[in-house]
Amino acid sequence: MPGAVRPAPLRFGLVTSVVVVLLGFGGPGAAPGLETDQFFAWGRHVEDMSEVLNARVNLELERLVAELNREGRDRRCQRVRFRFFKRHRMLFFDGFETWSVNSPLVSRSPSGPEEMREFEQKYLYGGTSPLFDTGRWMPPSPTVEVDGIRLGTDKLTHLLGTAWYYHRWYRKARARGLTPAEAEDRAARRGLQHEITILGRAVSGVLSLADLEANYEGMWFYEHLCAGDDPHIVYEEGLWRLRRPFDLRDYVTPEWDESYQPNIYVRRKWGKVKPRMLGYCPMLEHPQVRARRQDYAKRERVTATEELIDEMVIAGKLPDPSGFSIESVCREAAN
């Protein structure tokens, strides 16, 4: 058969199978994870990064304003929102998160080679298979502190990246004539479905309520970026200007801390996570941990995401997240 590739489908298929299986089992290049672990940061000093992270986001807002002024004309707010989203959108992760896990200006945990090695041993999701647990195909997000609240840097991706899609769903619903409350509800439910299916539980076995909180808050960030009564960016007298700087403290709540707001796990994942979580029970008495959790309890409120989750729990569509809390795990172990 002149000129054609002599088919080698059998060999190709065999090699494909061998590569998939062999390289999967403990081969080099294993990825540590897609999740975040605030338990590891318990008892460790992490400086408050509110001002630093605000400065980073405000730098991008200032640059957006400068870019808009170079073009010298008014723009539809939705276009301005998209321009901001595009400025920091990267492959898979958000630019702000990438900066926060690398910049020497950001205090985070784990940090430095020694703590990184310790993290590899103690990582909450470290008990699962790096091959079959897709949540471990991506790097874990370190913990930072904002306004006294510990959160994974992945929340920056959720607040300023994933939330863009929430906001689009919100705007679409509004364009179809839904009231703001109905549109908000529509976006939050669609976001929950995404987190249950493609982004969270079905893929990694973890439904992160903290991620949902950040997504929800980010929707409002985008809504108020250049519209409403108190926008960040305005167009006045032929010029764009940053009217109100971004402040992460306006959005972050104790529910963003995954050691406080428990995730919902699928059974196979929970079986691996629970023993590692148990190891943190003695730390509940640590003065720093106790003080922080007491402070969280004072600041806690019932969020829109929590109301939605409660509704799903009552309907039997999700398990009660309180069963996955550290308090519940430690209480059960003590009995």
| Residue from the set 74, 79, 86, 116 that interacts with other proteins by CB under 8 A | 116
Contacts of 160 (CB under 8 A, 6+ apart): 57, 85, 88, 94, 96, 218, 221
Residue 109: beta bridge partners?
143
When asked if residue 58 is in the footprint of other proteins (CB under 8 A), the reply is yes
When asked if residue 297 is in the footprint of other proteins (CB under 8 A), the reply is no
- Between helix 77-88 and helix 50-71 the angle, nearest 10°, is 120
When asked if residue 185 is in the footprint of other proteins (CB under 8 A), the reply is no
Report yes or no: 243 and 189 within 8 Å, Cβ to Cβ: no
Write out the binding residues for other proteins, residues 148-177 only, by CB under 8 A: none
Query: Dihedrals φ, ψ of 250, to 5°?
Result: -70, -15
One character per residue 14-53, x = contact with other proteins (rule: CB under 8 A):
-xx--xx--xx--xxxxxx------------------xx-
When asked if residue 268 is in the footprint of other proteins (CB under 8 A), the reply is no
Nearer residue to other proteins within complex by CB, 3 or 177: 3
SS3 at position 328? helix
| Residue from the set 37, 56, 280, 308 that interacts with other proteins by CB under 8 A | 56
Residue for token pair 């996955």: 324
When asked if residue 137 is in the footprint of other proteins (CB under 8 A), the reply is yes
Element (H, E) at 151: strand 149-152
Nearer residue to other proteins within complex by CB, 130 or 254: 130
Pairing mode of beta strands 264-265, 206-207: antiparallel
The nearest distance, CB 105 to other proteins, in angstroms, is 6
Q: How far apart are the C-alpha atoms of 176 and 174, rounded to whole Å?
A: 5
The nearest distance, CB 63 to other proteins, in angstroms, is 7
When asked if residue 1 is in the footprint of other proteins (CB under 8 A), the reply is yes
Nearer residue to other proteins within complex by CB, 23 or 314: 23
- What is the size of the binding site for other proteins (CB under 8 A)? 52
When asked if residue 132 is in the footprint of other proteins (CB under 8 A), the reply is no
Tokens of 321: 């997240």
Residue 120: C-alpha distances to residues 100, 112, 114, 198, 289 (Å):
20, 12, 10, 26, 22
The nearest distance, CB 20 to other proteins, in angstroms, is 7
The nearest distance, CB 116 to other proteins, in angstroms, is 6
Q: Residue 159 burial (CB < 10 Å; 0-12/13-18/19+)?
A: buried
The nearest distance, CB 312 to other proteins, in angstroms, is 30
Contacts of 292 (CB under 8 A, 6+ apart): 148, 150
Smallest CA-to-CA distance from 252 within 154, 159, 165, 143 is with 159
Write out the binding residues for other proteins, residues 74-113 only, by CB under 8 A: 90-93, 98-99, 101-105, 113
Residues at the interface with other proteins (CB under 8 A): 1-8, 11-12, 15-16, 19-20, 23-24, 27-32, 51-52, 55-56, 58-59, 62-63, 66, 90-93, 98-99, 101-105, 113, 116, 130-131, 137-142
